[in-house]
Structure 1
Amino acid sequence: MAARGVCSSILLASLLVLGLAVTSLSAQAATCGMPPNSNNAVPSDEFATIDTFNDGANVTYKCIPGYSQKGGSRTITCRSGMWTTLTLICERKSCGGLPELLNGQYEASSNLFGDTAYASCNEGFNLVGKSYVVCLSSGQWDTNSAVCEDVKCPDPPEIVNGTIVNPPIGTVTYSSVITYKCTVGDLIGESSITCTLHGNYSSAPPQCKVINCADVTVKNGKKESGFTPPYKLGYAITFSCNAGFIMNGSNTIKCREDNQWSPSPPMCLAVTMKTTTISTKTAVTMKTTTISPNTGTLTTQGPSTASPSKPQTGTSSTTKGPNNAGTSSTTLNGSDKDEGNDAALIVGNPLLLLGLAAFNLILMVGQSPAL
């Protein structure tokens, strides 16, 4: 009996140990390890140091800095040693509208966490300070330290023999215009200078000089305007040429800032006459021209025509009659013909008649002592 009792005790103890072992294995199989990582989300801080979770345990998640929940569940559960799927959706935070910048503006392609907006200033202003701002994890733009300041130019320079018409009050800024005037002499250059985007003036200030160009005359010519000096800057003289002369150059000259005339004064050149002989196929005979020294009468007898077949060289002769009256005869190509035909030809060629008459007159004057 005693032996049977001992055996029963041993069997009971063995069953107890086996049950405890099975229970221990079952409990060990139902636990979960550390919860998994997720895009843009992490377990809440209270679960950060726990590495084993029992079956049925819940773990909550939070969005990483710069992201906020836009949907889904923040919780997962340990079930039969496996974590359920996390459905939490975390998206980048928006910083809203861009910050304001006096006399300038910010520009950015997006206004979400991590984006950068860049500052620029309006025309006539310079950027001072940090040129950009960043969208922070808090959903706010970082500190706006940029400032747009006026473009400034140095004080305008003074000029000799002149003064500033509109002296600036305080600082000279972009697009300000400074105007000068002369108290002595003529103003050379631009009367006004402007403050530019680069912080300098558009040009050097003008100068005040006493301009006095020397008087000038043109040989064989005369002044039509600008008769008497003094000739100051911009004053002009206009010339014309005397009869029988033509002008070479500009008829008007102006006094320059270097006390010289521009362009150079013109010249008046003598007119040159050029005689051109024109041949003709018509043959004409001027029969006789007589000059009477007593009466001063010029008498021309009728001309005649010769054969027009080809031009020939004319001949001229002079004879003296009674009382030294000169007689001149000029013949062109051939002998005398019918006077009626001669007259018709002369009427048709008045210039030819006039020329021949003048030629004969010259010959007679040269040979007649009475003339």
Structure 2
Amino acid sequence: MAASFLLLLTCVGLFLSAQAQDCSSPVGGDNMGLKGNDILLQSFPDGTKVTFACDVGYVTAGGSASITCTAGDWSSLRMTCKRKQCGAFEDVPNGSVDYSEGNEFGDKLTVTCKPGYDLVGNPNILCGNEGWMGRPPVCEEVDCKEPVVGFGHWDSGSRGPYTYKATVTFKCNEGYRMTNSATIICGINELWEPALPKCEAVPADTTTTTKSPESTTKPTAVPADTTTTTKSPESTTKPTEVDCKEPVVGFGHWDSGSRGPYTYKATVTFKCNEGYRMTNSATIICGINELWEPALPKCEAGVPTPHTISYISPNQQSTTSHRARRGAVPLHGLRK
């Protein structure tokens, strides 16, 4: 009887010992971890309840996030985690967005601009925990610089601004010849293609001396005391003609006047591009010293370009320019 009672007590003790067994630190599923301070503990008393949370960049896909320690074992964890989605990226004017990697946490998209536009900014945007990370890039229109050809002038094509595929054809001034292509195109990299035309001086013609046939007429005797004076013909060589260089105005373009070559008193009037204003005279004249008078016009960003009114004074051989505010009415029929 005593032996049986002792055996019963032993079994009860073993049962109670098994019921009170602690649990070790639980292991969760992929992309998750214990919440709060539980992550610091190595063992958990029987009956302890812990909760899991998804890692950064992940959200729960369903199922209970909590488990319980019972007799040294944890109950089954039902929760699963999936990657966050960033959704669609904002539209990029004149550009397109490539989602070849996807639009979930850790994925990267790429922005490209359509032909004729340059990308400014980072083309690669990463999907982060709070959405797409980084400022969206911008697609700016290609703008080639003003083409200038020495000893040459504009002949046809675009007058600026020079956007993608804008075409300009040049012509050499009198006395010069073109050594390469006269037509250039604004390329995708904001460079002119092919290279800018070149104008080289035409070599002077070699003077050919023709020997006249010997005269069959006997020479007339001239008295010894007679002096014969031969008058040389007057020189037919003309003085070198004034030739001003091609005028180039940044952020501006030709409006009226000479197209070149720019000889003495040739007049050209410029106009500023949209968004720029003229800060000095819009009209210039080729001077005797082959310099433009007054100085070349300047276009500065700011107030919309004022209108330019040009006329020739009846008493002068020069052109006068006035600037009027937008909306002003130009004067007509100016008199003395």
TM-score w.r.t. length of structure 1: 0.44
Q: Which has the higher contact order (CA 8 A, sep 6+)?
A: 2
TM-score (structure 2 length as normaliser): 0.48
Which one has a bigger Cα radius of gyration?
A: 1
Greater helix percent: which structure? 1
